[in-house]
Amino acid sequence: MAGCFIYIPCGLKGMPVEGQSALIDFIHPVLNKAVRSISGHYILSQEKRLSYNGREVLYFIGCAVVDAACCGPGGCSYALVPGYIKDWKYKTGSDDLSVSCVEPIRDAGVQSEIRRLIMKKDPVQQVNFEG
């Protein structure tokens, strides 16, 4: 599912502080709209926030369906995590979609803990981190 979001640097907000990733503008996707591919489709159904160590993590719940592949049908539910919220829906981008400034989560240990928390809270088979 990587690449389903559009990332643009947050301008001056994107200057990283030591120990942080560069910030990015995250364009919020349209929920409950199927995105087709050659072998099926995926749908992002929920936009959620998770409190973690005094910060808020933005994530989405979705499902992927393989219904047009030569090797048979399948699917899974998943979560996609753009990152920590730095500036929530601070502007409107193209196509009138909201834009938030987020910090991608690249630390493997933090990803593992956030993955555990999301999987405990939501019925997903996998949690993927973007950026």
Place 70 in a pLDDT band, splitting at 50, 70 and 90. confident
Q: Is residue 44 part of a domain?
A: yes
Q: Is residue 28 part of a domain?
A: yes
Residue 45 has pLDDT above 70, yes or no: yes
Taking the C-alpha atoms of 6, 12, 14 and 15 in order, what is their torsion angle to the nearest 10 degrees? 160
Count of the separate structural domains present in the chain: 1
**Would you state the structure tokens that stand for residue 108, as one six-digit string?**
């493997």
Q: Residue 107 belongs to what domain range?
A: 7-129
Is residue 36 classed exposed, middle or buried when 0-12, 13-18 and 19+ CB atoms within 10 A define those classes?
exposed
In whole angstroms, what is the distance from residue 35 CA to residue 85 CA?
A: 25
Residue 18 has pLDDT above 50, yes or no: no
Q: Is residue 1 part of a domain?
A: no
Q: Is residue 2 part of a domain?
A: no
Q: Is residue 101 part of a domain?
A: yes
Place 14 in a pLDDT band, splitting at 50, 70 and 90. very low
Q: Is residue 96 part of a domain?
A: yes
